[in-house]
Amino acid sequence: MPVTQWSALAQADADALIAFAQRLVQTPSLPGHEEEVARLVEQEMCQLGYDAVTVDPAGNVVGWIRGDAGPPLMFNAHMDHVDPGDLSSWPHPPYSGAIVDGMLWGRGSVDMKGALAAMVYAGGLIQRHHLPLPGDLIVAAVVMEEGGGVGTHELLRHVRPALCVVGESSAGCVMRGHRGRTEFLARVVGRPVHASMPELGANPHYPMARFLARLETLPMEADAVFTGASVAPTLYRTDQSSPNVTPGEVRLTLDWRSLPSQRMEQVAAQLEALLREGLAADFQAEVCIVQNRYVTYTGRTVELPASFPSFLLPMDHWLVQGAQRTLSQALDRAVAIDVWRFATDGGQIAALGIPTIGFGPGDPKVVHTNHEHIAVTALVDALAGYAALASEMVRAPL
Ligand SMILES: [Zn+2]
């Protein structure tokens, strides 16, 4: 298909696409509360003529467009969003879906209801115009990505695509990977006493403080693509609520950003050795990966480690090159190849051996801020891009 036609086809659907993205933004869907947005996605897929639309036990909405016998391609977008914070601090209310000067405002407009709307409409566009589809297209709208990756974890139990495009914002680039993210919990247990007689106890603040000082100068593995792994202490808690009692236990959360080569069990052991360095016999100390328990809006309980893998496809991987070529032709502009700064559901998809890339509209720098907004032209651009990727990109044989 000649260059301009993808944009023209997308342009013809622009009003409906933008209105759908606006309805999604106007419908709050914090993690575990995506029911209403899920219903909107399901209805839209049905109206757009998807061959099958299912809602799985975790509440993920999965739409199918049947294609030829080639490898099935999944478009992956999450339906939840982070908390909007102080509502009055937004230039336009976070659930208004206001369109001002060509910008759609609101929580989730970039992360990632804009991409979700464009992916849903890409399936509809292909179906309505009977465009070629080398293999099935699976459009997955998942729950509870923010902080947990729960929806995609549950989805992959029953849906196994051969390749995947994650729609997290990429500023129009093709993303080939990101660092991983793991939460570690460092615990030191001592002996609590009346704070007037501290010499009788074993105060765990001190060994934890020495650990923090050592952590600050811990050599981190370097890397040319991601610039290196990193670690940041985030939360700190004690087991006491009285200011005149020394704690029996302190807990420190660490946010670790990993490289593809790093094994998190090894990192935990390394951190535990650092914590135990010179530890007096009065104390016990350990470092483990945080385990979380989630309940989806459908009532399903899921326990998962707070550990999200890194992934990286080589620059010359056929999917990276194929996506760049397809997108630059379809959108008639240069499309760069890059990596994300943040972690996505792509890590757990790639960890199953499924080649995965990212392509999503909007500026990643406004994500999780109180000025999240997206150009409506970027939504139309994304629709053209997704439709071209599904229909035209050469899919390597299984
Ligand atoms: Zn996101």
Answer yes or no: is 301 within a domain.
no
Gap from CA of 168 to ligand 1 centroid (Å)? 5
Gap from CA of 76 to ligand 1 centroid (Å)? 11
Gap from CA of 112 to ligand 1 centroid (Å)? 5
Residues 356-389: pLDDT tens digits? 999 999 999 999 999 999 999 999 999 999 999 9
- Are 142 and 70 found together in one domain? yes
The distance of Cα 325 from the centroid of its chain, to the nearest Å, equals 25
Gap from CA of 384 to ligand 1 centroid (Å)? 21
Domain assignment of residue 199, given as a range: 180-294
- Are 153 and 189 found together in one domain? no
Supply 232's token pair: 């940041």
> How many angstroms separate the CA atoms of 113 and 266, rounded?
37
Gap from CA of 246 to ligand 1 centroid (Å)? 41
Q: What share of the chain is helix, strand, coil (3-state, %, to 5)?
A: 35, 25, 40
Instruction: Say which CATH number the domain at 257 has.
Output: 3.30.70.360
Answer yes or no: is 304 within a domain.
no
CB 391 within 8 A of CB 132: yes
Answer yes or no: is 325 within a domain.
yes
The distance of Cα 363 from the centroid of its chain, to the nearest Å, equals 15
pLDDT band at 124 (very low <50, low <70, confident <90, very high): very high
In this structure, the strands spanning 61-65 and 373-375 are unpaired
- Are 157 and 18 found together in one domain? yes
- Are 72 and 61 found together in one domain? yes
Which residues fall inside 5 Å of ion ligand 1, going by CB?
A: 111-112, 168
| pLDDT mean over 37-44 | 98
| pLDDT mean over 257-282 | 96
pLDDT band at 12 (very low <50, low <70, confident <90, very high): very high
Gap from CA of 162 to ligand 1 centroid (Å)? 22
Gap from CA of 36 to ligand 1 centroid (Å)? 18
- Are 19 and 137 found together in one domain? yes
> How many angstroms separate the CA atoms of 315 and 177, rounded?
10
| Residue 282 neighbours by CB under 8 Å, 6+ apart | 190, 191, 202
Residue 10's nearest CA partner among 393, 387, 306 is 387
Residues 320-355: pLDDT tens digits? 999 999 999 999 999 999 999 899 999 999 999 999
Gap from CA of 52 to ligand 1 centroid (Å)? 25
DSSP 51: S
Gap from CA of 169 to ligand 1 centroid (Å)? 8
Gap from CA of 56 to ligand 1 centroid (Å)? 20
Gap from CA of 146 to ligand 1 centroid (Å)? 7
Supply 104's token pair: 């759609």
Gap from CA of 140 to ligand 1 centroid (Å)? 14
- Are 201 and 247 found together in one domain? yes
Is 1 a residue whose pLDDT tops 60? no
Domain end call among 260, 294, 328: 294
Is 390 a residue whose pLDDT tops 90? yes
Gap from CA of 245 to ligand 1 centroid (Å)? 42
Is 7 a residue whose pLDDT tops 90? yes
> How many angstroms separate the CA atoms of 288 and 271, rounded?
9
| pLDDT mean over 52-66 | 98
Residue 22's nearest CA partner among 125, 121, 98, 111 is 98
Answer yes or no: is 398 within a domain.
no
pLDDT band at 140 (very low <50, low <70, confident <90, very high): very high
| pLDDT value of position 373 | 96
- Are 141 and 231 found together in one domain? no
Residue with tokens 């290196």: 228
Answer yes or no: is 300 within a domain.
no
Gap from CA of 254 to ligand 1 centroid (Å)? 21
pLDDT band at 152 (very low <50, low <70, confident <90, very high): very high
Gap from CA of 142 to ligand 1 centroid (Å)? 11
Gap from CA of 110 to ligand 1 centroid (Å)? 8
| pLDDT value of position 397 | 58
Answer yes or no: is 305 within a domain.
no
Gap from CA of 344 to ligand 1 centroid (Å)? 7
| pLDDT value of position 120 | 98
* Type and span of the H or E element at 125: helix 114-128
Count structural domains, the chain.
2
Gap from CA of 368 to ligand 1 centroid (Å)? 9
pLDDT band at 4 (very low <50, low <70, confident <90, very high): low
- Are 87 and 188 found together in one domain? no
Gap from CA of 314 to ligand 1 centroid (Å)? 23
Gap from CA of 41 to ligand 1 centroid (Å)? 17
* Type and span of the H or E element at 347: helix 346-350
Gap from CA of 198 to ligand 1 centroid (Å)? 47
In terms of Cβ atoms closer than 10 Å to its own Cβ (0-12, 13-18, 19+), residue 101 is exposed
Whether the upstream peptide bond of residue 393 has omega within 30° of 0, thus cis, is no
Residue with tokens 């309505």: 128
SS3 state at 112: helix
The mean pLDDT value of the chain amounts to: 96
Answer yes or no: is 264 within a domain.
yes
- Are 171 and 212 found together in one domain? no
Domain end call among 294, 327, 357: 294
Instruction: Say which CATH number the domain at 373 has.
Output: 3.40.630.10
| pLDDT mean over 202-225 | 96
Is 128 a residue whose pLDDT tops 80? yes
| pLDDT value of position 288 | 98
Domain end call among 239, 265, 294: 294
- Are 88 and 128 found together in one domain? yes
Residues 77-115: pLDDT tens digits? 999 999 999 999 999 999 999 999 999 999 999 999 999
CB 297 within 8 A of CB 35: yes
Answer yes or no: is 349 within a domain.
yes
- Are 157 and 204 found together in one domain? no
- Are 155 and 187 found together in one domain? no
Gap from CA of 234 to ligand 1 centroid (Å)? 21
